[in-house]
């Protein structure tokens, strides 16, 4: 069975994050993340993903993102296997988040 990530719209994700019901995991490299990311996103670069200590609180949805969603969807199997239960992808990635006018941040934190 092929793993898949279920798309979630930017505004829906923002609402889930505001309610502390979801976390956003940005899989871009550290320099990309530092240039700009969705506010509240966690940085877990794809290049070191298998070695990352991704701790998810029970009851929270995990949503993965990259710049446009292409990199995330191309690696959905690697990403989904790290999550118990359903895993999600930010539909359209950071580009869609920005087009929706949602908050962003820069820097490594």
Query: From CA 69, how far away is CA 57, in angstroms rounded?
Result: 24
* Lowest pLDDT segment from 27-36, 66-75, 82-91: 82-91
Q: Which of 107, 104, 75 is nearest to 89 (CA)?
A: 75
Q: Residue 1 — very low, low, confident or very high, per pLDDT cuts 50/70/90?
A: very low
Give the fold, CATH level 3, of 6-101: Oxidized Rhodanese; domain 1 (3.40.250)
Concerning whether 76 is annotated as a catalytic residue, the answer is: no
Residue 102 has pLDDT above 90, yes or no: yes
Burial of 36 (0-12, 13-18, 19+ CB in 10 A): middle
Domain positions in the chain are: 6-101
Q: Residue 3 — very low, low, confident or very high, per pLDDT cuts 50/70/90?
A: low
Catalytic residue among 17, 38, 62, 66: 66
As given in the structure block, the two tokens for residue 54 are 């991704």
């Amino acid at each position: 069975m092929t793993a898949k990530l279920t798309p979630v719209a930017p505004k829906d994700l923002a609402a889930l994050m505001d309610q502390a019901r979801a976390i956003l995991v940005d899989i871009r490299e550290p320099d990309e993340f530092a240039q700009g990311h969705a506010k509240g996103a966690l940085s877990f670069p794809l290049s070191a993903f298998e070695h990352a200590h991704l701790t998810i609180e029970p009851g929270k949805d995990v949503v993965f993102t990259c710049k446009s969603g292409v990199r995330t969807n191309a690696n959905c199997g690697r990403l989904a296997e790290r999550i118990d239960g359903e895993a999600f992808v930010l539909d359209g990635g950071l580009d869609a988040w920005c087009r929706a006018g949602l908050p962003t941040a820069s820097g490594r934190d």
